[in-house]
Amino acid sequence: MWLLPFFPKFSKLVTTTFYRLGMAGGKVPARGPVLLVANHPNSLMDPALVAAVAERPVRFLAKAPLFTDPLVGWLVRGSGAIPVYRRADDEAEVAKNEDSFRTVYSVLAEGAAVAIFPEGISHSQPSLAPLKTGAARIALGASALLGRPIPIVPVGLTFRRKDTFRSEALAVVGEPVEWEGLQGRGADDHEAVRRLTARIDAALQAVTVNLERWEDAPLVEMAEAVYAAEFPTNPSPAARVGRTRNTTAALALLRAERPGEWEDLARAVHQHVRTLRVLRMTPVEVKASASAAEAARWTFRQLTVLRTLLPIAMVGLALFYIPYRLTGFLADRAKPPRDIRATYKALIGIVLHLVWTVLLAGAAWWRWGWKIGLPALILLPIVAILTVIVIDMWRRASGEARRFFIRARRGQALLELRERQRSLAQRLADTWETLRV
């Protein structure tokens, strides 16, 4: 368990480097026993995100084959994970789960944090898979040992393009699961297990977005974004997840009850999606009332900062271009399933960039001595991280500059687009009202 004390900070570094990560919702208790339950769309990136959100050492339950996996076994063992034996892996090993459960009970009784993915599998389906009963059994068993309920905290993980470097990811910590009526019930009480599993499912549904099918994702995202841009809404990431969940439910209900109206509305939303993609704008940017002068001043300030940092980023791009490109090439050659692709990219990228950093520092040491080689070993990772930050800033600033020219050259067209967006938002609001969503 050598990695366990460092795992939260290590996880935060990895996840905030790979993703543009947002964290929202409540806080994981800093002390005492807690059972974290999370959805599982992204293989080993999911434990990293949960550990980053928890900001404390977390013992994970992981499927037994991962402990001997040549790529990630060292990481799983080093992080103090507890094995779970699944029938799908080896039915003869399932009996060992009793020992695993006893280990989890004692770990929780000692005041540790434990995390489990109740779906039991990592997957790329658009909604939660049916939950297994393991989380409820663990909570009930540990609570019986402690003599009091333990907090069960849901963590919802949402990704925009989960296998894409620097795409958006969001981790939402939900409200603890309610224990009312289940205190003092044990892990062998089947009715208590069933009821607590249902409550865990509801808690996870509340912090995740569950689509009927992936094809609905652009429709749902744009409908929520248009509504949020045009009407007063809570701007927090957690509130956005809630609105997206409600939008998903509303569109599903509309499709079931009034398919003709759903098709008309879907067509209008998809048209707006296509228009904004061409302009590379968001609904908030369409709505924005900032004058051209204000936009120009904002862009100028960003570019002024970038002018100072850009030389560092250019050096970083030159130094780390080879391992960056090689990471994607090797991940493509491995052809992992979509829910594992980000894990492959992250692990391959970490190894390649570390090796490359050592090689560069070693070359500097050999050529100019330790007075150059040692500082290079320390500074090269900082240069790499600064490069990522500067590239993000450049994208934002260049995007705003381009939108400035759109506002300056096509002001009337933008005004018409604003009117169409406002009309679409009102249509969505009226639809939600008739559906009572």
| pLDDT tens-digit series, residues 367-400 | 999 999 999 999 999 999 999 988 888 787 777 6
Mean pLDDT of the chain: 88
pLDDT of residue 291: 55
Task: Give whole-number Cα distances, 144 to 92, 137, 195, 364, 376, in Å.
Answer: 29, 11, 16, 60, 55
pLDDT of residue 305: 67
Q: Work out the angle between the directed axes of helices 411-435 and 237-257 (0-180°, nearest 10).
A: 70
Q: Is residue 65 predicted with pLDDT exceeding 60?
A: yes
Question: At 211, is the pLDDT very low, low, confident or very high (cuts 50, 70, 90)?
Answer: confident
Question: At 289, is the pLDDT very low, low, confident or very high (cuts 50, 70, 90)?
Answer: low
Could you give the percent of the chain with pLDDT greater than 90? Answer: 55
pLDDT of residue 298: 62
Question: Which superfamily is assigned to 4-205 in CATH?
Answer: Glycerol-3-phosphate (1)-acyltransferase (3.40.1130.10)
| pLDDT tens digits, one per residue of 171-185 | 999 999 999 999 889
Q: Where are the domains of the chain?
A: 4-205, 214-287, 292-415
Question: At 408, is the pLDDT very low, low, confident or very high (cuts 50, 70, 90)?
Answer: low
pLDDT of residue 292: 55
- Report which residue type is found at 212: E
pTM of the model: 0.88
Question: At 114, is the pLDDT very low, low, confident or very high (cuts 50, 70, 90)?
Answer: very high
Q: Is residue 7 predicted with pLDDT exceeding 90?
A: yes
The Cα 423–Cα 400 span in angstroms is 25
Q: Is residue 10 predicted with pLDDT exceeding 90?
A: yes
| pLDDT tens digits, one per residue of 342-364 | 999 999 999 999 999 999 999 99
Least confident range of 39-53, 277-291, 362-376, 397-411: 397-411
| pLDDT tens digits, one per residue of 264-281 | 999 999 999 999 888 888
Q: Is residue 295 predicted with pLDDT exceeding 70?
A: no
Handedness of CA 394, 400, 402, 404 (dihedral sign): negative
197 versus 434: which is more confidently predicted?
Answer: 197
pLDDT of residue 302: 66
Kindly report each contact of residues 6-11 with a partner whose C-beta sits within 8 Å and lies 24 or more positions away, as own/partner: 7/51, 7/57, 7/58, 7/79, 7/80, 8/51, 8/52, 8/54, 8/55, 8/56, 8/57, 8/58, 11/47, 11/48, 11/49, 11/51, 11/52
The Cα 37–Cα 41 span in angstroms is 13
pLDDT of residue 1: 79
pLDDT of residue 299: 63
